[in-house]
Amino acid sequence: MSTTTKSENQELSQLIEQHLPLVKHIVFQVAVHFPRHVDRDDLARAGALGLVEAARRYDESRGVPFDRFAAQRIRGAILDAVRAADWAPRSVRTLARKLEGVEQRLATELGRVPSGAEMADALGMTHQELARLQDRLFRSVVLALEHEVTVAGEEDLTLLDVLCDRSAVEPLEELETRELHAYLRDAVHLLPERHRLVIVGYFLENRTSQELARFLGVTESRVSQLRSEALAMLKEGIEAQYAGPVAAPDQTIGRVARRKATYASAISDASPWHSRLDQRDRVEV
């Protein structure tokens, strides 16, 4: 590389570095015209590229000061970047500015935030038309996943941290659900016969208490009692699987406690752990 070329590159770098504050100044000027979701750092990066382009294209012989020439290039680069990133049509942006202007005017006149009815009246439209307009504007806002959000008690959160895909299940959550369903299947299967028939008939076969009473040859109140007892047994038996090692029946005191421990132990031993994790969503008994 020749000495002349090195010198030109050094002069170009110095020119760019000296005018970097100009980028910040122009970003501050133009940013007030953009919505808050537009990233100011993105504007600064676009402006810096505009400054580099201005430094390369600048011709001192034309008699235009560099800062004036660069300012136009920087502002143009920022506007081009915003337009390229904005997929909403210009008509939507025009409506947004009109809506914002009316809202600010009413807020100044009323000394408070205007209501929806007041906004609609000022715009000469119905409340439903205003709602549809606002819906269009809201759908035109695009936020990056890195956009910072504010959540009470939390700091430095982005949209990526708070958004979740409801159609996708975390692997750990999926395994926990499979295990719970397997425990439930085994627990229902291990219920005393009448209790099991009531649970299966009522919750899985959609039978009424009257139908179950006729089938079992008991009263409807007895069916209700069997259902309550079975639900309590299922709850206690499954909770025991997550409360630590299941106590052995011979280590418990009292007939009721031994019965509960026997039931919980039977649930624990009914299926190996890898079989429980292989189960799918449907509970069958």
**CATH number for 19:** 1.10.1740.10
282 is a domain residue? no
Burial code (b: 16+ CB inside 10 Å, e: under 16) for 166-198 equals eeeeeeeeeeeebbbbbbbbbbbebbeebbbbb
SS3 196: helix
227 is a domain residue? yes
- On whether both 198 and 107 belong to a single domain, the answer is no
- On whether both 11 and 57 belong to a single domain, the answer is yes
The pLDDT assigned to 1 comes to: 47
What proportions of the chain, in percent to the nearest 5, are helix, strand and coil?
70, 0, 30
- On whether both 204 and 257 belong to a single domain, the answer is yes
Q: What are the CA-CA distances from residue 128 to residues 125, 135, 138, 139 (Å)? A: 8, 11, 15, 17
Displacement of CA 146 from its chain's centroid (Å): 12
CB contact at 8 A, 263 and 233: yes
Q: What are the CA-CA distances from residue 130 to residues 37, 116, 121, 155 (Å)? A: 22, 8, 10, 35
**Residue 201 belongs to domain spanning:** 171-277
Bridge partners of 158, per DSSP, are: 148
- On whether both 208 and 258 belong to a single domain, the answer is yes
Determine the Cα–Cα distance for residues 55 and 7; give it in Å rounded to an integer: 14
Residues 276, 278, 279: CA angle, nearest 5 degrees: 70
- On whether both 68 and 133 belong to a single domain, the answer is no
- On whether both 209 and 116 belong to a single domain, the answer is no
The pLDDT assigned to 208 comes to: 93
* Domain final residue pick, 112, 130, 162: 162
* Count of structural domains, the chain: 3
* Pairing, β 157-158 against β 148-149: antiparallel
Displacement of CA 129 from its chain's centroid (Å): 29
- On whether both 178 and 264 belong to a single domain, the answer is yes
* Domain final residue pick, 129, 144, 162: 162
Q: What is the dihedral of CA 236, 239, 240, 243, to 10 degrees?
A: -140
283 is a domain residue? no
- On whether both 106 and 141 belong to a single domain, the answer is yes
- On whether both 37 and 103 belong to a single domain, the answer is no
- On whether both 29 and 110 belong to a single domain, the answer is no
Tokens, residue 128: 């439903």
284 is a domain residue? no
Determine the Cα–Cα distance for residues 253 and 258; give it in Å rounded to an integer: 7
147 is a domain residue? yes
* Domain final residue pick, 85, 100, 116: 85
| Sign, Cα dihedral of 179, 180, 182, 183 | positive
Q: How many residues belong to the chain?
A: 285
Read off the CATH number of the domain in which 136 is found: 1.10.10.10
183 is a domain residue? yes
The pLDDT assigned to 140 comes to: 53
Q: What are the CA-CA distances from residue 105 to residues 91, 95, 101, 130, 200 (Å)? A: 21, 15, 6, 17, 65
Q: Scan for tokens 């011709």, then name that residue.
A: 59
- On whether both 176 and 242 belong to a single domain, the answer is yes
24 is a domain residue? yes
The angle, 0 to 180 degrees and rounded to 10, between the axes of the packed helices 90-110 and 127-139 is 120
135 is a domain residue? yes
How confident is the prediction along the chain (285 residues), in pLDDT tens digits per residue?
444 466 777 888 888 888 889 998 888 888 776 666 667 788 888 889 999 998 888 888 888 888 888 888 898 888 887 766 654 556 666 777 788 788 888 888 888 878 888 888 888 888 888 888 777 666 555 555 555 656 666 666 675 666 666 666 677 778 888 888 899 999 999 999 999 999 999 998 999 999 999 999 999 999 999 999 999 999 999 998 888 776 666 666 678 788 888 898 899 888 887 777 775 544 454
- On whether both 143 and 196 belong to a single domain, the answer is no
